[in-house]
Amino acid sequence: MATVLAGNGAAAWGFRLSRVQCYPYYPITPSTACSEQISRWVHDGAMEAVTINAESEHSAASQIIAAGKSVRAGTATSSKGLLYMIEVLENAAGGGVPCGLFLGNRATGAPINIWADNSDAYAMRDSGVIQIFAADGQETLDSIIQGYRIAENLRVRLPFAVNLRGFTGTHAYEGVEIPRPEEVNRYLPPFVSLHPLFAPEKPVTYGAMLSAYPYRRHKRNQMAALSNACEITLKAGQEFAEKFGRSYGHFEWIGDKKADLVVALLGESASAGEVATRHLQGKKGIPGVALLKIRLFSPFPAKEIAQALHRAGTKALVVLDEGLHHGGVLPPLAQRLTTAIQLYLGGKGPKVASVIGGLGGSEVRQEHFQLMFNLADNIAEGNPYRPEPYWLDIEEDPIFVERENQVSPKLWRKWGEVWKKQQRKEKFCSPIPPDTNEIRIYSRAGQGAITSAVGFTGAGIQNGYQLLTVPAFGSERRGAIITTDTLLNFHNERRIRSFMRAWDVVILYDDTILYSPEHQVLDGLKEGGALLVNTSHLSVKKIREILNVGQKKVRVLTVPAEAVSERLGLKHINMAMLGALHKVYDKVPFEPAQGYYEKNVPRPREKSLEAIRLGFSETSDREIQRTRKESRLTVSQEFRDWRPEDHSQESWPSALEEVQLG
Amino acid sequence: MKEKQQILVSLNRHKEFVVTGPFVEMRERQGSSGPEKREPTESDKGKFLHPPEILTIEEVAQKPIDGLDTPKVLNAMADIGPEARLFVYRPEGKVTRHEIFEDPRVCLEIQRGAVIENLREKPKDVSGWRTHDFFIDIKGCLGDECGRCAIVCPENAIHLMGKGKGSFHEIDPLACKGCFICWVECVRTAADCILVDGKTFDPGMRAKHFGE
Amino acid sequence: MHPDLVLRIAGESGEGVITIGETLCKIAAREGIHIVTFRTFPAEIKGGACMIQVRLSERRIRYHGERLDFLICLNQEALDENLPDLKEDGVLLCEAECDLSGEPPGLTVYRVPFERIATREIGSRISKNIVVLGTLSHLLGLPKNKIEAFISQRFARKGKAVLDHNLDALQRGINFAEQHLDKKDSYKLPKGGEQKKLLMTGNEAIALGAAASGLKYFFGYPITPASEIMEWLAVHLPKVGGAVLQTEDEIAAICSVAGASWAGGRSMTSTSGPGLSLMSETIGLLSMAEIPAVIVDSQRGGPSTGMPTKTEQSDLLLALYGSHGDATRVVLAPISVSDCFRVTALAFALAEKYQLPVIVLVDQALSARLETVDPQLVERLPQGSRLCVEPGDGNQFARYRLTESEVSPAALPGTLGGEHMVTGMEHDELGNFACDEETHTAMTVKRFRKLAAIENDPLAQDLCVRWGDKEAEIGIVTWGSSAGPVEEAVAVAKNLGISAQAIVPKILNPLPHEELKAFLGKVKRVIVPELNFLGQLATLLRSTYRIPTIGLTKVKGVPLEPSEIVEKIVEASATLNVRSRKLYGRAG
Amino acid sequence: MYKVLFNRHIGPNPDSFLLPEPVLDVGDYGAISTKGLTSGHQGCTGCGMVTGTNQLLRALKLTGKHVVASIGTGCNEVITTQNTSCWGDVSVDHNNFPNTAATLSGNIAALKALAQAGAVSPKSTVNVGIAGDGGSYDIGLQALLAWIARGEDGVYVCLNNQAYMNTGIQGSGATPYGTNTSTTPFGKVIRGNQRTQQYILDLALAAGASYVAAACPLLHRDLMIKAQKAAAIEGPCVLEFYSVCPEGWKSDTDVFHEITELALETRSWILYEAERERSSNTVLFTLNYAPKKYLAISEYLKLQERFSGMRDFPEMVERAQEIIEARWFFWKPVLEANGIEWKEEARAS
């Protein structure tokens, strides 16, 4: 039964199930959560391992390499942390230490950027480490287990690294199957060191100083072992499929078997590509299209990929790189694919165009893939194309050009002719109809919106749907307005992990967000969608006024979540909002979800469940009555109406007369 | 006024540490029988790891391993070819894991991960480094009562021969680099029985070291 | 013989004029004779004309007399100033050197060279007044031994020489009279009653009344004509366990009273018009916070600094309505010195019982007037105590509980369970700030129902004095020290054959409505004589009862005279038979 | 910081108030049964540093434990593992230059993990980290202080030859004042090393080490006592060996004895040890060697040409003397308690 895990959590389970015995760590966004989870398990005694609170990634890497000579070791890092480690990682590959790394891919270099791209993975290509790219939490968990199986194989004995895109991968919560430990133990035998340090009967020396002759022969052996890893990765993937039902290989071919147009890329961005590919498949006037999601990046399965492209009869291949070529001819993935095609298919292979996108957390959306397939189609027709990389989302340097002045003049001088031949075809760029439900939560950091969204995801999964929750992260601290998006896919025959940004429900965790200039909460809200606001004093009419909803067919509902939480003595309003969400969005039924919540809501459990029920019942779209403040005086109305007596003359007989004297 | 005396909290079973002001003095603790004399013990009998063995087809053939179906193993290894290896892991003598695989290495004399097995190494001959010859006069040497030269030799070239009265030290000609340090130590503090180029007396060297 | 004798001594301030008058009064009081005096002060601190008028009578009197029987003048200015007030058949005793050109015939004149006797025969000018005393005692038949006893007792402290000197002066006065003057007039001291009387001024009566009714703390700031109250109390209050503090101004005085009274001690302050103006804001606090307090206002010529040493009754509206908002307070007004004593005690009783400020209005004339007082007054003082809550009765203490019985129990600070907040802000029953409409209405009602309760309280019954024929059609309503002249006027009018009746309410807020309405119901004309320009009591009566009134206002700085009132009575009775009803806008 | 106590007795001290039993005192004479490195390393003739390593390994083996050494790049590593290994029955893990202490920490963790799994008895192995002065003072300081701060049980040895010898005599954190090295040459304008040398043992104590000691291979009895104490005492222990380097100090290959003796007599190298009692945070300082007759620093400069430039500048020699006396001042109480004057001229009068 799937458990809701973020990418980091899945990686932590990967290490735990592989029974890692030494886990030094150093925190770095976005992979920190993996180390936090393992520390929690070790400190609770749920995982038997020794953790070291290293003072830098450089030391953490030194420690896994030293410990890796005696026990199974692993750690997690990202971006600059990995760059610190590269100085030492050579010793792992050179010393035959099969330790494991989990990398939450994140941009490196200046300027600092905490969001995702592959520049850290590309930087470690020459450290001799096996590199596997996972596309989601499940693949990460499975790849770590397979990683140790591959690395410790006697024909390899090299370190491995599993890469997962930062935030959209590491912080995306989704259903992950956690295999049972005894099954994993059968798949992955315990660690045996070939040259243990703690064996007096065979004292050994690691890292001796070798002069030229022994050095080059050692390097020859090392490269031989690395190339073995290619075949062994395939074998490990197939064995994993037999035991656990999920098959893995060097790459994944999505779309038509016979595909003239192919887009190739690494990792998690492929989820948007799948949707675009399925949308274009079989459309009139569109040749065979396919998405080549490459999993094993180093050692690069050049022959296998070349043969696959040849079997598919591909005419044009567009390669998306989420990293830069830094003076090379093409970015790394494009360069490797071009070389593979040139070496194994000679002149008969497809033409290759290179596209750079997704840098520093830039989104790789579905329309980008439509553009790339369109480019591939033009190339397949023999139109000229740029030998140097194209760029996504750069206004001055687009892939297709309508008007000349739209492009920066110096580029027009260089590629004007090519652009003229490349025209944008509507049949590729028709909008993709949404076939998933999406919910967006606007909240303030620290209000616990993510906890409630993850709870909802769990309930949805228990109900048999496929859900994905991706919180938007930045350097904002407590109080800033953040968004958390949840996607529900009802067709369980295919996984969808890409957002259409068309919301069925928008939730505001407090009414002050209505006034925030940068957050147009109604953007993207579908016709007939619902807007849920947590407020105890704004009426529905007032909210419609503030947002000048006018006649748009949008349901507006309010829930006094603060009051509910206060009544129960809960610090956060997220449980009440969870109940409110069930009231507004009924596809995930409320009653069965209770079963899930009983076991998975934060403590104090009883109050949280009560808050969910109250949130559900107190959500309404009617006006809220203002409670009259009852008066505290204990004295009769008659007392209050008393007034001093009027003694004017009318009320008593008098003979007095007005008279004018003198 | 006598300083207030205080005993330092200590695990030591034989000595008491008395603190007076900033100073600490060690006193015999009553009722302690003094540290029991113990010889430098052999390496402790603690539990250690046992490295796995990686055997070639010949080795398997010569010494069949109990708990393994040797012929079946040999056939499997034969299929792979000359570079087939048998991985056997038997920490307590009983085979717990074994696997047949083809040795990925191209240059077979280099161990995996360029690891060096210390005990298989032979010391390098550095005799070419020295410009003088050193020889210890067997009769003059005090043997195992002294050992000054052995402890200060940078090259571990000086070894104790024999035991007890008749023991003496001998310089390994392959290891000595001729640095004179053993000679200085012997002349200064011990028996002055190290001969340089066969001579015991070298006016220049003595003048340099002792100002005679 | 004459039932009473009106005698005036006039001269230069500083010549001991007042001492002669006071000595005469003390001796007469010991004889049990009823005395009412009236004296004027010159504005200057030293010098300037002053006079003291003493009326001695066998029966209880409230007015110092209009026309003089006996005039003693020590210099020419006094003679010119005061001669017109002497009756035609009066007696004049004056300094020898004064020239008496054009004095009316039938006047018995005795000329005595006081100046010469004092300066040349005795050698000190200041004992001139003793010589006059000797002469006067001989003329009026005062027994010599009583005077000598009094003088020796009075100058005993000053040493033997001074005493002999004065006795010698007395003897010379007597000898001169015996040798040179032969008694031609018939005036003699009236016959005293059997019981000795106390002699005191209005201020002293107030102070004594306060001390007798348990005054614990007096805070005051010196101001003419009220300073004598503080001076008397500063000497005597500590003897009965009280304390007197002179504050830096009237505001500090009234605030200190508020604090001390809230803390449980009976507190009082005394001031005059300007002081009462300064205190008006705090009177509002006393009313809002329901703290008992007694404020004595001895009125003087106003407004502003006005005429400090002259009498007036122009602070009434300030006393009734001073302080912003519907501030409740009780206003009392004694009509004589003995009345001052009782009314002050009543003020404390009402203040304590109903927990609100009480203002006692007197004026300069009453404050400074020497009068004999009946010693038995002390026993029958009105009693009233503050309703306090017992400590520790459990639930939260509501200081301003709204109950049918208006007065809510107070809690002295330190009472267990009696913690509460006292504030000038509108508050709910617990004392917490509350500004909603029901609470303010209810609390204002509570404060005003107190006044209604006071109306029916036995303490406030028979506070009206009635003179004249109950059936008379001419009615006079007055207050305070003007009651004396009104009483005289009614008597004089009766002699003239005009029946008039008078009512003097001693409580002006809340007015004794029953008695007043009964009185106003019968009379056809209402005359309201008072010493202010506006006719403040008249205004009060007209606005409360909507009745026509005939005003008699006087702002000369001296009390009303019976003749002025009688004249108005005659005028009013003349209109009785003229049925000209001039309709004025009668309401609805 | 910590409460300072002085051991009144001056001299080697096999007893420690942190240990139940005193360590084995090999005495000044007598052969020692255990073996150090195997011969045939590539070190210079007359190298004093590798003598220290030998004596360290012999001492640790006296405790009867299996020695696992985590060594950092430097002269000691390069000469002993050149295409072969001279480490004999010691298992060696050389990882990198700046992370000796991190590697040591990794091996300690591996030992703990294996012990948890019951595969190895933890008490039978001693983890020792060996690095040069460059590897401890400069590039490896972060890893070292973090390892001490984590309080892991092991021994760290800094072979202090007072410069980067492996890479051709460049100045390091431990290079004395006025020394002529390739990166702090004795020029006409800037004369030699302007920095004064750091003291790693003070940093280690401040970071929370359980036991620190300075030793020199010449007095091998004292060195081997300290090595055994470091292995026995619970928590991080840091040792520093005075390593004579004929090549780097530009001295003759046979003056190992004289140079060390002069260093001790001129107090430019002080033999002491400090044991910390954690709960009360008191540190017991023991002075292991006090020179009978103080020699002026100028004597020490004679045999080493790295100080040749400095010898001609009296104010620099004066400055060097001040530095030494400032450091020696710390031991004033102990010296006076033993009747020794701490100030040089006071003795002269």
For chain D, the three-class secondary structure string (H helix, E strand, C coil) is CCEEEEECCCCCCCCCCCCCCCCCCCCCCCCCCCCCCCCCCCCCCCCCHHHHHHHHHHHHHHCCCEEEEEECCCHHHHHHCECCCCCCCCEEEECCCCCHHHHHHHHHHHHHHHHHCCCCCHHHEEEEEEEEHHHHHHCCHHHHHHHHHCCCCEEEEEEECCCECCCCCECCCCCCCCCCCCCCCECCCCECCCCCCCCHHHHHHHHCCCEEEEECCCCHHHHHHHHHHHHHCCCEEEEEEECCCHHHHCCCCCCHHHHHHHHHHCCCCCCEEEEEECCCCEEEEEECCCCCCCCCHHHHHHCCHHHHHHHCCHHHHHHHHHHHHHHHHHHHHHHHHCCCCCCHHHHHC
Shortest distance between the Cα of D265 and any Cα of chain A, in A, equals 38
Residues A197, D110: C-beta atoms closer than 8 Å: yes
What pLDDT does C157 receive?
81
Give the pLDDT band of residue A661 (cuts 50, 70, 90): low
Q: How far apart (Å, rounded) are the C-alpha atoms in residues D39 and B176?
A: 9
Structural domain of residue A463, as residue ranges?
A: 437-618
Count of CB atoms situated within 10 Å of the CB of A587: 12
Instruction: Kindly report, residue by residue over C539-549, the tens digit of the pLDDT.
Output: 999 999 888 88
Tell me what pLDDT residue C32 has.
83
How many angstroms away from the CA of A48 is the closest CA of chain D? 8
Rounded average pLDDT over D111-135:
94
3 state SS of A574: helix
* CB–CB contact A209 D82 (8 Å): yes
pLDDT category at A626 given cuts 50, 70, 90 is low
- Closest chain A residue to the Cα of D42, Cα to Cα: A209
Q: Which percentage of chain A shows pLDDT scores above 70?
A: 98
Residues 56 to 85 of B: which have CB under 8 A from any D CB?
Answer: none
Same domain flag for A529 and A555: yes
* Chains linked to D by 3 or more Cβ pairs within 8 Å: A, B
**Alpha-carbon C288 to chain mean position:** 29
A634 contacts in C (CB within 8 Å)?
A: 402, 429
Check whether D111 has a pLDDT greater than 70: yes
CATH of the domain at A23: 3.40.50.970
Q: With a cut of 70, say whether residue C313 has pLDDT above it.
A: yes
pLDDT on residue B41: 54
Domains of chain C (ranges plus CATH)? 4-180 (3.40.920.10), 199-378 (3.40.50.970), 387-461 (no CATH), 464-576 (3.40.50.920)
Predicted local distance difference test score (pLDDT) of residue D173: 93
pLDDT mean over C119-148: 81
Which pLDDT belongs to residue C587? 37
ipTM above 0.85, yes or no: no
Span D3-348 CATH architecture: 3-Layer(aba) Sandwich (3.40)
pLDDT in tens, A356-376: 999 999 999 999 999 999 999
**Residue D347, pLDDT above cutoff 70:** no
Residue A625 in this model has a pLDDT that exceeds 80: no
10 Å CB burial of residue A542 (0-12, 13-18, 19+) is: middle
The confidence score (pLDDT) of residue D348 equals 43
Q: Of A229, A244, A259, which residue constitutes the final position of a domain?
A: A244
Task: Give the residue from chain A lying closest to B118, CA to CA.
Answer: A204
Determine the Cα–Cα distance for residues C386 and C407; give it in Å rounded to an integer.
10
User: What CA–CA distance (Å, rounded) separates C401 from C396?
Assistant: 11
CB within 8 Å: A94 and B106: no
Share of chain C above pLDDT 70, in %: 95
Q: Tell me: the pLDDT tens digits for C37-80?
A: 888 877 666 667 788 899 888 888 888 888 888 888 888 888 88
A-contacting chains (≥3 CB pairs under 8 Å): B, C, D
Q: How far apart are CA D133 and CA D248, in angstroms?
A: 13
Q: How confident is the model at residue D31 (pLDDT cuts 50, 70, 90)?
A: confident
Q: Which candidate, C5, C6, C35, C40, places its Cα nearest to that of C23? A: C35
3-state secondary structure of C93: strand
Looking at the fold, whether A584 and A499 belong to one and the same domain comes out as yes
Confidence grade of residue A100 (pLDDT, cut at 50, 70, 90): very high
C56 touches C37 (CB < 8 A): no
Residue D254: is its pLDDT beyond 80? yes
- If one compares C112 and D310, the residue with the highest pLDDT of the two is D310
Question: Does pLDDT of B40 surpass 60?
Answer: no
Is it the case that residue C580 has pLDDT exceeding 50?
A: no
Identify which of A631, A642, A647 has the shortest CB distance to residue C438.
A631
Beta pairing partners, D93: A206, D70
D120 touches chain A (CB under 8 A): yes
User: Which residues in C139-177 are b (16+ Cβ under 10 Å) and which e?
Assistant: bbebeeeebbebbeeebeeeeeeebebbbbbbebbbebb
CATH number at residue A530: 3.40.920.10
| pLDDT tens per residue across span C408-422 | 888 888 888 888 888
Chain A, nearest residue to D105 by Cα: A63
A459-517 pLDDT, tens digit per residue, is 999 888 999 999 988 778 888 899 999 999 998 788 899 999 899 999 999 888 988 88
What CATH code is carried by the domain that includes residue A284? 3.40.50.920
Q: What is the predicted pLDDT for the residue at A539?
A: 86
CB contacts, 8 Å: C451 with chain A: 644
Mark which residues 180-199 of B lie under 8 Å from D by CB: 180-181, 183-185, 188
Summary mean pLDDT of chain C:
86
Q: Round to whole Å and give the CA distance between B144 and B165.
A: 8
Q: Is the pLDDT of residue C131 over 80?
A: yes
* Short-list C201, C248, C247, CA closest to C226: C201
* Pairwise pLDDT comparison (A565 vs D28), residue with the higher score: A565
- Out of A97, A202, A207, whose CB is closest to B117? A202
Residue type, D199: Y
Is residue A218 pLDDT above 50, yes or no?
yes
In a domain, A377, yes or no: yes
pLDDT in tens, C217-264: 999 999 989 999 999 999 999 998 999 999 999 999 999 999 999 998
A649 to chain C, any CB pair closer than 8 A? The answer is yes
Q: Which residue has the higher pLDDT, C129 or D75?
A: D75
Does any domain span residue A648?
A: no
| CB-based contact A656 C525, cutoff 8 Å | yes
Domain endpoint, select from A397, A429, A461: A429
Domain boundary among A244, A268, A285: A244
Q: What is the number of other CB atoms lying within 10 angstroms of the CB of residue B206?
A: 12
Distance CA D181, CA D308 (A): 11
C583: pLDDT strictly greater than 50: no
CB contact (8 A) between residue D78 and residue A209 = yes
Distance CA C303, CA C65 (A): 28
Helix, strand or coil, per DSSP, at residue A243: helix
| Tens of pLDDT, residues C346-391 | 999 999 999 999 999 999 989 988 888 887 776 778 888 888 877 7
Is there a domain that residue A488 lies in? yes
Identify all chain A residues contacting C588, using CB atoms and an 8 Å cutoff. Answer: 650
D228 and chain B in contact, CB less than 8 A:
no
| CATH, domain range B127-210 | 3.30.70.20
Do A54 and A110 belong to one domain?
Answer: yes
What pLDDT is attached to residue C45? 66
- List Cβ neighbours of C504 (8 Å cut-off, separation of 6 or more): C335, C464, C465, C467, C477, C478, C479, C483, C486
Is A629 a member of any domain? no
**Average pLDDT across chain A, whole number:** 92
Total of domains in chain A:
3
Mean pLDDT of chain D: 93
